[in-house]
Structures are given as C-alpha cells and as structure tokens.
Structure 1
Amino acid sequence: MAVDALDARILRLMLEQPRTSVREYARILGVARGTVQARLDRLEREGVVTGFGPRLSAAALGHPVLAFVHIEVTQGHLDDVGDRLAAVPEIVEVFSTTGEGDLLTRCVARDNTHLEDVVQKIIRMPGVVRTRTEVAMRERVAHRMLPLVESVGRQAAPGRTG
C-alpha cells in the first residue's frame, strides 16, 4: 500500500493527538473533513491503521516484570502450542521466529516467582521441548511508530489535498 505525504501527516496527527476528532484533524491539516475521513477509511481498510484504543501499562496493572520467553516446539505442533499460549493471560504477544527457537513470547508477571509459574506453565504444555527466558531490565526505546511514519512521509510523493 502506498502512503503519500498527506497520509503520513494524518498518521502523525493520530499518533500525537489520538483523542482528536476527524473534524479537528481536517482543520489542522487545512483539508476537507471528508478527505481526512476517506483517507482514514482507506488506511484502516488496507491494514495500515490496525486499531483504535488505549495503550495499557502492564506495570500499572500490577505486572511490572517483563520477560521474553523463547520456546522450542516439537515439529508439527506450532499451531497447537500457539493456541495454548493464547490461553495464558500473562502472555501478551507471541511471534513465530527463525533461529534457535520457534516462538518468542512477551510475558508479564507480578514478580519473579509469578514469572517462574508462567514459565513452568509453558514448559508443561504438550509440544514444548524447551524454553529460554530473558528478563527485561529497563525499556530503552518504547514501542513507537512516529519515526517510521515520518520516514515514510519524507519518501512519499506529495498527496492530494482535496
């Protein structure tokens, strides 16, 4: 999907001011409200915008420990293990990967004892061969998309404004 300069400006506003209305985005950008709405609809339909909603803090929800658990899976059981991992609330993301492991999970826990319980739950799952856990010490770069949006916007041809 091609993102042009106007799309990039809209996405930047959405990231910087997520609670602002489409009407206000249009005013800030100096384009018609219908133009902004049509662009947003297209960006959502084409999968650039994947959702709207708050980003939540696991730490503020009582789960300040963050760990990455690498999982090696018996061949042919990747989908089964993925389905079982989805049933564990402390596992907030799972990715298939290349390299030593087959899956990489991002897990949160109340404390190290709770993290051990979560890892033990993973180890006991049918199809799991072994795990390797890495505890995050400190977040150095928070999840972000704005630098990418700005880079794409600089590379894009100027968009239509009406």
Structure 2
Amino acid sequence: MNVDDTERRIVNALLADGRASPRDISGATGIAEPTVSQRIDQLETRGVIEGYEPRIDYESLGYDVTAVFQLTIDGDGLPGVPERLGDAEQMIGVYEVTGSHDVVAIGKFTDTAAMNARIKELMTDDDITAVETSVVLNTVTEYGQFRVEGE
C-alpha cells in the first residue's frame, strides 16, 4: 500500500503521539489542519491506521511472567491453532513462521502457575506435536514501532 510524503509525515507524528489532535499534528508537520484531518480519515479507511490503543505496562498490573512458545503443528492443525491462540486471553502475539517451528506465540502471565497451565493446554492439544517454551528474563523493548521512511 503506497503512502505519499504527506501521509508518511502524519503517520510519523501519530507514532510520536497517538493522542495528538489534527491541530497538534499540523503544528508538528506544517501540514494544514484540514488536510491532516482528511488524510487521517483516508488512512483509516484504507486500513493503514488500524486503530488507536493504549499501551499497557502489564508488569505493573501483576503480569510478571512473559513466555515465548514455539509450536510444531500437525499439518491439519493450521490455521486452527494460530486462530485459537490469537483469541486466547493473555496471548499478546501469535505468528505463523518458517523454520523448525510452525507458530511462535508470546503470552503474559501473573505467575509461573498460570504459565504452566497454558503450557499444559498446549501440550494436550491434539493438533500440536511439540512445544518449546522460553521464559523472558529481561524485556529490552516491547511493542516497538518505527518511523516510516520514504521510498
């Protein structure tokens, strides 16, 4: 999907402050406020901007354990397993991948008992043939976004 320089500047302003008003974005980019409003509407309609969400620090809410699950799926289990994981509570990322595993999923848990319960669910799923779990020791960066560069 192509975006022009004006849209790119608006997207980057929103990445810097997702709560910025069209007036704020206009001031930061030099793009006229009505143009900013119109372009944001167009970006939303085209699906470039998918929505606006708060970023939650789950650790501050008691979700101290982050786990990365690498799953090997029985051939008939795709796409069912990734869809189920994507709908599961506490799973913040689910990816179909290439390599020695079929799915990588990331979950947040209040404690190791909650994480172990999820591991047991995965291990008893008939569509999953293998589960490898890594517990995150230190989060360096999370929910990263990056500025959109020009072509």
CA contact (8 A) 2:95 2:104 kept: yes
For residues 15 and 61 of structure 1, the distance between their equivalents in structure 2, rounded to whole angstroms, comes to: 24
- Work out the percentage of aligned pairs sharing the same amino acid: 25
Does 1:6 find its partner at 2:34?
Answer: no
TM-score, length of structure 1 as denominator length: 0.82
- Which residue is equivalent to 1:38? 38
Structure 1: tracts of 5 or more residues without a match:
157-162
Amino acid of the structure 1 residue aligned with 2:57: S
AA aligned to 2:138 is R
**Residues 1:40 and 1:99: Cα distance change in structure 2 (over 3 Å):** same
User: Partners of 2:139 and 2:57 in 1: how far apart?
Assistant: 13
Q: How does 1:86-101 map to 2 (within 5 A)?
A: 86-101=86-101
Q: CA deviation at 1:142?
A: 3.2
Distance 1:4 1:92 in 2: 31
> Cα RMSD (Å) of the superposition?
1.8
Using the alignment, how far apart are the partners of 1:3 and 1:96 within structure 2? 27
Q: 1:9 to 1:58 in 2, by over 3 A?
A: same
Size of the aligned set, in residue pairs, is 151
Determine if the alignment matches structure 1 residue 112 to structure 2 residue 112: yes
Question: Structure 2-normalised TM-score?
Answer: 0.87
SS in 1 for 2:7: helix
How far, CA to CA, are the matches of 2:128 and 2:34 in structure 1?
51
In the TM superposition, 1:1-162 aligns within 5 A as: 1-146=1-146, 148-149=147-148, 152=149, 155-156=150-151
Higher relative contact order (CA 8 A, sep 6+): 1
- In structure 2, C-alpha distance between the alignment counterparts of 1:12 and 1:55, rounded to whole Å: 17
The one-letter amino acid of 2:38's match is: A
In structure 2, runs of 5+ residues without a counterpart are: none
Within 2, Cα distance between the matches of 1:72 and 1:31?
Answer: 49
Q: Deviations over 1:56-114 (max 9, x none)?
A: 12212321111110111111111222233244312222111111111110111112222
Deviations 1:98-149 (Å, cap 9, x if unpaired)?
1111111011111222211111111112211110011111122333223x42
Corresponding letter in the other structure for 1:21: S
36 and 109 in structure 1: CA distance in 2 versus 1, 3 angstrom threshold? same
| Distance in 2 separating the partners of 1:130 and 1:116 | 15
